[in-house]
Amino acid sequence: MLSTQEKMKDHMLADHGLRKTAFRKEVLSIFLANKGKAVTTASIEDSLKDFDRITLYRTLKSFEEKGLIHLAMDINGQSRYALCDHNCSVDKHQDTHAHFHCDSCGHTTCLDEMHESYEALVPQGYKIKDVQITFSGVCQSCS
Ligand SMILES: [Zn+2]
Ligand SMILES: [Zn+2]
Ligand SMILES: [Zn+2]
């Protein structure tokens, strides 16, 4: 019998047109454990027992292409990845939200509620496709 977590992972991969492999599921588990938080490739590597760097790179790339995870730059310009919410699909990402990087604990959090308002910031006729905005400061648990 598959656990609920296992079933969820199977569904998530299938919904995004990804074949399920043990490795993809392992990487997905890390994102599920860090829901709402963006993690660095280094911390993903730390969480994996046994892995091949090329395979991990390809896995992250395919997750990103298929709308399962999105890129979030932290304040140091280091790239991180976070799980997309269900609005993202194989065809398009809808992650035009900002991120918050805590200088104290180093966590980068998705600010999911902040999006639509960006349309008001650009001149009329301009169309936003992607947003990379990262605030830095101190998060709730550190302040
Ligand atoms: Zn997305
Ligand atoms: Zn913090
Ligand atoms: Zn995010």
Separation of CA 55 and ligand 2 centre (Å) = 31
Give all domains of the chain, ordered by start, each with its CATH number. Answer: 4-137 (1.10.10.10)
The pLDDT value recorded for residue 94 is 82
Separation of CA 52 and ligand 3 centre (Å) = 26
Separation of CA 82 and ligand 3 centre (Å) = 6
Nearest ligand to the CA atom of 97 = 3
Separation of CA 83 and ligand 2 centre (Å) = 19
Cα 123 from Cα 134, distance rounded (Å): 21
- pTM score, whole prediction: 0.86
**What is the torsional sign of CA 73, 139, 98, 111?**
positive
pLDDT along the chain (143 residues), means of 10: 88 95 96 93 92 95 96 85 90 86 93 73 87 90 93
The pLDDT value recorded for residue 96 is 80
**What is the torsional sign of CA 43, 41, 54, 9?**
positive
The pLDDT value recorded for residue 114 is 63
Cα 7 from Cα 1, distance rounded (Å): 10
Separation of CA 94 and ligand 3 centre (Å) = 10
